Amino acid sequence: AKTEAKQAIDEALKAKSAEIDARTDLTDEEKAAAKSEAKAKADAAKEVIDKATTNAEVDQAKSTGIAEVTSVNPGAVAKTEAKQAIDEALKAKNDEIDARTDLTDEEKTVAKLDAKAKADAAKATIDNAITNAEVEQAKVTGITEVKAVDPQPEAKTAAKQAIDDALKAKNDEIDARTDLTDEEKT
- pTM value is 0.70
pLDDT in tens, 152-186: 887 677 777 888 888 888 888 888 888 888 888 77
Long-range Cβ contacts of 94-99 (<8 Å, 24+ apart) = 97/149, 97/151
Q: Are 38 and 13 in contact (CB under 8 A)?
A: yes
Alpha helices in the chain (DSSP H): 2-22, 28-51, 55-70, 77-99, 105-128, 132-147, 155-176, 182-185
Q: What is the pLDDT along the chain (186 residues), one digit of tens a residue?
A: 999 999 999 999 999 999 999 999 999 999 999 999 999 999 999 999 999 999 999 999 999 999 999 999 999 999 999 999 999 999 999 999 999 999 999 999 999 999 999 999 999 999 999 999 999 999 999 999 999 999 988 767 777 788 888 888 888 888 888 888 888 877
Residues 129/27, Cβ–Cβ less than 8 Å: yes
Alpha-carbon distance 40 to 13, whole Å?
A: 10
Closest CA to 26 of 135, 136, 100: 135
CA distances from 119 to 63, 132, 142, 184 (A): 46, 19, 6, 59
Handedness of CA 33, 39, 41, 47 (dihedral sign): negative
